[in-house]
Structure 1
Amino acid sequence: MMAKTQDLVRRLAERAEAVCRHYLSAGRRQGRYWQVGDISNTPGRSMFVRLQDSPNGPAGKWTDAATGEHGDLLDVIREALGLADFADVIKEARRFLSLPQPEFEERQACQRRASVPSGSPEAARRLIAISQPIADTLVETYLRGRGVTALLGTANLRFHPRCYYRPDHHDSTETWPAMVAAVTDLSGRITGAHRTWLAPDGSGKAPVDVQRKAMGNLLGHAVRFGYAREVLAAGEGIESVLSVRELMPGMAACAALSAAHLAAILFPDTLRRLYIVRDNDPAGDGARDTLIERANTAGIETMALSPMLGDFNEDLRTLGRDAVRMQIRRHLAPEDVARFMLG
């Protein structure tokens, strides 16, 4: 099976430019490379696909200079068509090359090779890989409907148009559009994913019993917005943390996804001041108290940012930007007001 896959990779590499023109149509040839924004076919110049063998490597290999990701043309086909099943990637590659389709047994072997435990970090990484950037998608519509417009630095948020949803205690599955968030460790490695299922028009969450679910390894990790150095804002929910960043888009922030996980987040070695974006409930009180104790032990200054209502997104939507700005400003260190706060 491995030999046959390698043969497909070799055949695709022999037609690397044709593959790129078909699956990465937003890019263009630049000398011996095909240049495009990323593997999701976004216009730009960050990703390079080698079109010819060279001393630096074989044809068909690609690298995204912005993210450090790399791979081969099977990865390009998988991402272009949003294929989660490796057998479907093989089938599409053979179709493109006008090769006979594999027999049933070979297809089953492909499926076994591609299978990973449900809910595992690897399953989370695959979900992130087949999702797309949020620009001009229902995720952007959903967030703007919740008052969140400062979306710079939100690359860890992705959109999946047909994300599987299985109701509790049911064998059947449904598909809904979803905001998919990458949970990462301090080095940026994806350890998990968080899904928020959305209404078909992005006007709110989907009408399902459990609108949010996480998968993978979450403890100590978070959904990160910006790169944390000496100052970080950490909270529970994605929308609440983004509501604070609405007034401080330059401050690095992270969403731990629950009070228990917020209390357990890992601190960057460079961190000197931590703003705790707490929810206004007993669980939020507990997370705040635990974080203060842990941070003080590590020599990190802490300041709690407390909402006037349930959380900062409720404040933003109900009370407005000016009220949220005033509430946050009174709890910031003076140097952080000048450095991070808008207006």
Structure 2
Amino acid sequence: MHKSYIYPKLILLVTFLALGLSSAHAQLEFKLQLMDDTTWGVYVRPDTTITPTDSTEVGSGQVTLVAPNGFTYSGFTNVKGIWLENARVNAPPENSSRDYISFGLISNVPKITVQAGSETLLFKFNRVGSCPDSLYLIENGVDPFDQLPNSANSNPGNDLSMYDFLNSAFYNYSRNYAPSAWSCHDCDGDGFLNGLEDTNGDGSWTVGVDTSNLCNPCDPIHVETATLDYLGGYNTICAGDLGDTAYLVVTIEGGWVPYTVIYTDGTNVDTVANFHSGDSIAVVPTTSLNYTLSTVIDSFNCVINPDSIVGNIPIIVEGPISFTADPVDVTECSGNATSFSVSATNAGAGTLYYNWQVN
């Protein structure tokens, strides 16, 4: 394998170099990025020491992918330039557990341009089958197969050379960046693949930079809000009436179902497992109490932020009513007035009303 696809403009670049009209920079960087569940893209960007213009021309280019033995891909799509697999060496003795797949640049149409602070997608491809244990771009001069001459008498490696006419400067491939951005694994099982959570592709959680914590199932999926209310707009019951029950309802957003809901009446703490949003909780207090949520935990043990809990629900208990003095019998002549009296106490909430009945 040779880096044999040299764009014809390279002759022009060599001429400029021979005339001494430019300076040379090795400041173009490659990245292998997971774009969705099954697609990877190869990107190029300039490092922070150069500010390329749009007046550039590409001389040569090659990208070498290092994959597990037997790795296959589909849906190869050129985005900038025309790239073609120009060589593959499977299981060389220098690194027998890996295959080396090289893509050479054969045309600079559509034109490859690079801008400071931006990434340019060169090409993309889809995986076939399950996520490989690893996938990466070769590291020039370090990879055991890139020690020339190698067993295949080939020339693996990454390469991109450009000439900037306005800046009178050469730019060349220098290194790879974001080495973990390729990962199609899901180390925390939250359904978000590592390469998509790990924004800067360094393989670890960087607060304020990464989209979410790639190995924490509570990030980004977690219990966002939990609201406690009473069901049916009815929060008053009669004491001692076994058929009179109040129902609390908890509405939960976010997180992994089912949940564990822990609530309190201010004294007692109760736990309800296997809970789903909108389920009700029956309560029969003997005195008026205020109910609040203590916490909500999802099935990945992700705990809600206490500031996201809403609801302080009073359940009013009326009674029990006790008679302390019953009316007494009275004998009176017809037509004369008489009176009866009764005394009662209410241990709960509410106002007592009396209803007299003549037998």
Please say whether Structure 1 and Structure 2 have the same fold, judged by a TM-score greater than 0.5.
no
TM-score, normalization: structure 2?
Answer: 0.21
Considering only CA atoms, is the larger Rg found in Structure 1 or Structure 2? 2
